Amino acid sequence: MPRTDVGNPDYYHKVVDCQWACPAHTNVPEYIRLIAQGRFSDAYLVNRESNVFPGILGRTCDRPCEPACRRTRVDGKPVAICRLKRVAADHKDDIRDRLPTAPKTRNGKKIALVGAGPSSLTVANDLMPLGYACTIFEKGPRPGGLMRVNIPAFRLPEEVLDEEIGYIAGMGVEMRYDTPVTSLRALVESKEYDAVFVGSGAPKGKELELPGRRDTDQIFIGIEWLESIHFGHIDTVGQRVLIIGVGNTAMDCCRSAKRLGATDVKVIARKTRKYFKASPWELEDAEEEHVQILENHSPVRFVVENGTLTGMEFDTFTAREEGGRLIQEPAGRTIVPCDTVILAIGQENAFPWIERDMGLEFDKWNMPVVDKVTHMSTRPGVFFGGDAAFGPANIIWAVAHGHQAAISLHHYCQGIPVTERPPDAMTLTSTKMGLHEWAYSNNYSPAARQKMTHVSMPHRFSKMTIEVEQGFTADQTKEEVERCLNCDVETHFTDPLCIECDACIDICPVDCLTIARPGDEADLRQRLTAPAENLDQALFVSGPLKQTGRVMVKDENVCLHCGLCAERCPTYAWDMRKFVLQQPYAGVTFIPLEAVGR
Amino acid sequence: MTYIAKPKVHHPSLQRNAIGLTRRDYEGAITTLCAGCGHDSITAAIIQAFWELSVPPHTVAKLSGIGCSSKTPAYFLREAHGFNAVHGRMPAIATGAGAANAGLMMIGVSGDGDSLSIGLGQLSHAIRRNVDILYLLENNGVYGLTKGQFSASADPGSTSKKGEVNTMEAIDGVLLALTLGATFVARSFSGDKAQLVPLIQAGLAHKGFAFIDIISPCVTFNDHEGSTKSYAYTREHQVEVVQADFIAPREAITSEQDAGTVKSVMLHDGSWVTLHKVADSYDPTDRDRAYAYIRERQKVNEVLTGLLYIASDSKDMAEQHELPDQPLAGLPFEQLCPGSAELEKLQARFR
């Protein structure tokens, strides 16, 4: 193996598992440390830089960071990153004077944004401070997109939405509510705008055309039903409710049904739990509310008697796993009685308002052809982001798209090729404060993951708007922040200083380090103090060491970042250095370290 | 000195040995020695050796005197018995402990000051008696705790950290042990665990006084140019003459051995040591030739390492004096103290 190139920001970035897994690459360990110091406003602003909506995401994020968290591999449970984010949002002071503002003199460029969801709002957030005039066209009366109409208020209070959207709109974004765009061609060809961004989401719920579907008015499409509840058009539901589908929308539907007065709520799944699309924590929250989940049921027909829905018929299966595959065999039919059915089997994109002959190519799935990096469609000047770009994902992806699209929009308007992407940069600073003191809490805390407390069961059903999660207490926060392993404080190795005394190897509590004869990666992985079998985790390899020509190898997999290797190193060959990823945003680029000779 | 304790959490694939313990169970308190001290590597080798042998820690006594080296028993086998003796007097305590309980597995850790200066007489007599102990001499050529004066093992011509040249002859632990009749004599290097771990295991299995002189660089006072006990010097001048593999009892000897270069010696407990000779003219079972060879190679600045001498017919102190295997404390009182009538009888023989 050649020497690992730690000058490439990707190497150390990848060590920060949470940050690497986050589509917006939020600097998680940094904001957790700020929370630990009680600096909630600072933590909020670190968060906001990359994910724009810390209060919203601290309650609703799909948290790709948590399954990636190194702590999972160390003691089984990830740090409660998402709910710590909420701590920062809940306890911050007034931060309005620290937010970006739009300059008095605009740059003369105008951007039209379709849909007031998270991706458009992110674009506006990035472009307003650069002097762009942004106009958002929203078909509904209020901003937020699915964050407002699809996520029930018991998970995301309206005040939080209003506050964080307000920070962006408050920069002077022109918000045109109740103004659906009915023709993209008209918008583009009006020449009123220099560029157009489409962030209109994936607003169409999937249908289930089975016998009986059209014979009753008690069958609803999940996201439309949630929207109707939000607008107050629906405030009752049958006693017995079936939810078809087992994704996160299904979880919102079943819990909403409980709050509308349903007493018997069942979620119907085609496969077994292992294959459910819903996040494990959303499943847990639904089950806590006594929602029953039926596995191995496949819909056959709706049972409608004299115009009244009385049940639904299913094929049932037995299930077993064979060689990692699910084998289902028919086990007869059954009718599950019900009064209402909610279909939550997925969402689709719909672009009836985009003319197919306007030079904007669509693929065979009837999706616009959009560049994965630049987010530009085949019609120059028209960009896509969020669910509208590549199909349904989640809020944090929409935010990530928004940042990238903003860079492209900025380039497009300034005459810079959109394919020219500013590089990631980084800073690396020693955290050494004294002989054995570090600028971070390096001791390992064996505390277990803190459990979120919920509002008591009967009380939470009394109103749609009672937020179930109460947020971490001060004591819980104190424990949880210490569980973070500070993966961004990197073990940085300087080859020529090493005298091969083995001190780092002997002290490492998790057997990460080895001084070994050089070899290729597959061979090295088997010759280490502990075999490096997690191939997703990189090996750091030094150059040949001066006394024996062997190499220092570090398996990044379960490193605790406790700094003991650096404390026991007599020559400072190991140092604990804080890595800060400098992500480019529209109009903000960083000079890579090498360029300035550091 | 480190402020935090070593976290108890360990690698998910950490193995357990035959008695269900992990390597981490053989650790002790966190070290308070200087960062990079060779002694800490030796501690790690001891932990590894005991873990691999599946020794129940409570059957072990760890003994030491005074010095940096003598602090190290605190850093391994926290469940074992321990005795921290007066400076240089550990061999006497070990002799007594061995007499009182021949069933104890004893490991003594000492340094060049503790063994070759203040405790030289003590060491000599423990060797002469062939006390059943693994005796590790952590040799850095310098008095570290008193800030870097030359010790008795400092080589003539080597320099102190400030550049002063040592003019006195060195006492070589290995040659001394050979002269005094030690039955197991080895030299190793803290930076070479692949060599050190099997040597420790063989030394523990050896019935009698097993002496290992371990070059253990002092990073603070003796790791500079001009030192002959530094990491760099040792790596450059180390010549492994006899590579020893330790094979525990009941383990099959599988590899095809070339009879000309390999010699196997069976130890008291049924384990084996196979000795791979790197130099043809070397015989690790011939005391006089071993002595002569080591002496000769010293003149060309070679630091010979490996299992340099082993006596297959070793009789330890307990055997020579027909001591019971059982601890004296466990013997019935009548047996331990035959009574005044017997004493009278004994004394009558001298009248």
CATH number of the domain bearing residue B271: 3.40.50.970
Is A223 among the domain residues? yes
What's the pLDDT score for residue A592? 58
Is B345 among the domain residues? no
| Residue-range definition of the domain harbouring residue A26 | 9-97+445-483
b/e per residue B139-166 (b: at least 16 CB within 10 A): bbbbbbeeebebbbbbbeebbbbeeeeb
CATH number of the domain bearing residue A506: 3.30.70
Q: What is the residue whose two structure tokens read 């061995």?
A: B98
Q: What is the residue whose two structure tokens read 């940096």?
A: B68
pLDDT, one tens digit per residue, over B218-253 is 999 999 999 999 999 999 999 998 888 888 776 655
Paired strand residues for A565:
none
By CA distance, what is B224's nearest residue in A? A499
What's the pLDDT score for residue A112? 98
Is B11 among the domain residues? no
Please count the other Cβ atoms lying within 10 Å of the Cβ belonging to residue A533. Answer: 13
DSSP-assigned letter for residue B142: E
Looking at chain B, the number of H-run helices and the number of E-run strands are: 12, 12
Q: How far is B86 from chain A (nearest CA, A)?
A: 29
On whether both A246 and A365 belong to a single domain, the answer is no
CATH number of the domain bearing residue A25: 1.10.1060.10
Residues of chain A above pLDDT 70, percent: 98
Is A432 among the domain residues? no
Is A587 among the domain residues? no
- Distance in Å from the first CA to the final CA of chain A: 25
Dist. CA B32–CA B1, nearest whole Å? 5
Is A433 among the domain residues? no
DSSP-assigned letter for residue B60: E
Res. B258 pLDDT band, cuts 50 70 90: low
Please count the other Cβ atoms lying within 10 Å of the Cβ belonging to residue A174. Answer: 14
- What stretches of A267-337 show up as alpha helix (H) in DSSP? 280-288
Dist. CA B164–CA B250, nearest whole Å? 53
Task: Kindly state whether B29 is in contact with chain A, defined as any CB-CB distance less than 8 angstroms.
Answer: no
Task: Kindly state whether B194 is in contact with chain A, defined as any CB-CB distance less than 8 angstroms.
Answer: no
pLDDT, one tens digit per residue, over A280-330 is 999 999 999 999 999 999 999 999 999 899 999 999 999 999 998 999 999
What's the pLDDT score for residue B243? 86
Is B314 among the domain residues? yes
Residue type, B27: E
Please count the other Cβ atoms lying within 10 Å of the Cβ belonging to residue B3. Answer: 13
Res. B1 pLDDT band, cuts 50 70 90: low
By CA distance, what is B5's nearest residue in A? A443
Res. A158 pLDDT band, cuts 50 70 90: very high
Say how many domains are in chain A.
Answer: 4
Nearest to A144 by CA among A365, A383, A395, A463: A395
On whether both A379 and A259 belong to a single domain, the answer is no
Q: Average per-residue pLDDT in chain B?
A: 92
What's the pLDDT score for residue B334? 87
Please count the other Cβ atoms lying within 10 Å of the Cβ belonging to residue A202. Answer: 21
On whether both A554 and A508 belong to a single domain, the answer is yes
pLDDT, one tens digit per residue, over A41-85 is 999 999 999 999 999 999 999 999 999 999 999 999 999 999 999
What's the pLDDT score for residue B275? 78
End position of a domain, from candidates A289, A311, A346:
A346
On whether both A342 and A219 belong to a single domain, the answer is yes
Mark yes or no for CB contact B13/A437 under 8 Å: no
| pLDDT of B263 above 80 | no
Is A409 among the domain residues? yes
* Chain B residues with CB-CB distance to A559 below 8 A: none
On whether both A211 and A342 belong to a single domain, the answer is yes
pLDDT, one tens digit per residue, over A422-469 is 999 999 999 999 888 999 999 999 999 999 999 998 899 988 899 999
What ipTM describes this predicted complex? 0.91
* Chain A residues with CB-CB distance to B4 below 8 A: 442-444, 562, 564
End position of a domain, from candidates A299, A329, A346:
A346
Of B2, B11, B223, the CB nearest to A511: B11
pLDDT, one tens digit per residue, over A93-104 is 999 999 999 999
On whether both A244 and A340 belong to a single domain, the answer is yes
CATH number of the domain bearing residue A337: 3.50.50.60
| pLDDT of A591 above 80 | no
Give the helix/strand (H/E) hosting A554: strand A551-555
Say how many domains are in chain B.
Answer: 1
Task: Kindly state whether B299 is in contact with chain A, defined as any CB-CB distance less than 8 angstroms.
Answer: no
| Residue-range definition of the domain harbouring residue B144 | 23-329
Res. B259 pLDDT band, cuts 50 70 90: very low
Q: List strands edge to edge, sheet with A195-198.
A: A174-176, A133-137, A110-114, A195-198, A382-384
Is B226 among the domain residues? yes
Q: List strands edge to edge, sheet with A308-322.
A: A297-305, A308-322, A325-337
On whether both A470 and A577 belong to a single domain, the answer is no
On whether both A162 and A73 belong to a single domain, the answer is no
| pLDDT of B196 above 70 | yes
What's the pLDDT score for residue A598? 40
Q: Suggest the residue from B10, B11, B230 to mutate for an interface test with chain A (most A CBs closer than 10 A).
A: B11
> What is the arithmetic mean of pLDDT over A529-541?
96
Is A430 among the domain residues? no
A114 phi and psi angles, rounded to 5 deg:
-100, 115
